Amino acid sequence: MKIDNAVAIVTGGASGLGEATVRNFVAGGAKVAIFDLNEERGQLLVDELGDCVRFYKVDVVSEESVSSAIDAVAQNSGKIDICVNCAGIAFGIKTMGKNGPHPLDSFKKLIDINVIGTFNVFRLAAEKMTLNEPNEGGERGVIINTASVAAYEGQKGQVAYSASKGAIAAMTLPVARDLAFYGIRICTIAPGLFLTPLAEGLGKEVCDALAEDVPFPHRLGAPSEFGDMVSKIVETPYLNGETIRLDGAIRLA
């Protein structure tokens, strides 16, 4: 699928990996809808990138919020070609700690946002994609979700986060099979350690220490590299039903 003239939705698009994806799409000639709760940051991107970007304040867990925004994108742009899900949260809580067992509410909240939110958006985006005229290769749409290497090598305190990212990776193949009839592809990216605003907030010393564990390149990933991978998936029709590690060969200890 060509990025030029495509219409893309990017959840969590106001910052980090989502922002890098938005910028990459805009550079490639796409129109982009940012779904995020950060109105201030989202509007700054709209002001910077121009009319090809629109911001929608969306709670990915809410069916009504997502459905309303997706209807608006389809109405404003005439179609939806690409859906990239980057929205998510993370925290560190051990299964059993000094204060007792892992709080159930915290576990549920993370699963709701990372798993239910991702599913909620791509299922409704897929419905709109089925209405598209197929291109010369029979494609009607592309969905890209964001997992993590923690889906495979979760560290201490990552039981909820790892469960959520493992679920996203596990959904990929069955969804690819479900949507094959409609000519809609889906892939998942499992990033390693990236230099997002969250990582930058930890300070240079911490970032340098994290980079020590990356075999090569011996550094944290650049968000633009994530955006590049998204574009490669969109433009490579034979990529489908796969979870791709983007991690410099790191394996979390």
Known catalytic residues are: 161
Element (H, E) at 210: helix 204-211
Instruction: Please answer whether residues 141 and 81 qualify as being in contact, where contact means their C-beta atoms are separated by less than 8 angstroms.
Output: yes
Distances 39 to 44, 46, 167, 177 between C-alpha atoms, Å: 9, 10, 29, 36
Instruction: Please answer whether residues 142 and 175 qualify as being in contact, where contact means their C-beta atoms are separated by less than 8 angstroms.
Output: no
3-state secondary structure 213-230: CCCCCCCCECHHHHHHHH
What whole-number distance in Å separates Cα of residue 115 and Cα of residue 109? 10
What whole-number distance in Å separates Cα of residue 9 and Cα of residue 190? 19
Distances 89 to 36, 146, 158, 238 between C-alpha atoms, Å: 12, 12, 12, 31
What whole-number distance in Å separates Cα of residue 84 and Cα of residue 71? 17
CA angle in degrees (0–180, nearest 5) for 75-50-198: 100
Report helix, strand or coil for 2. Answer: coil
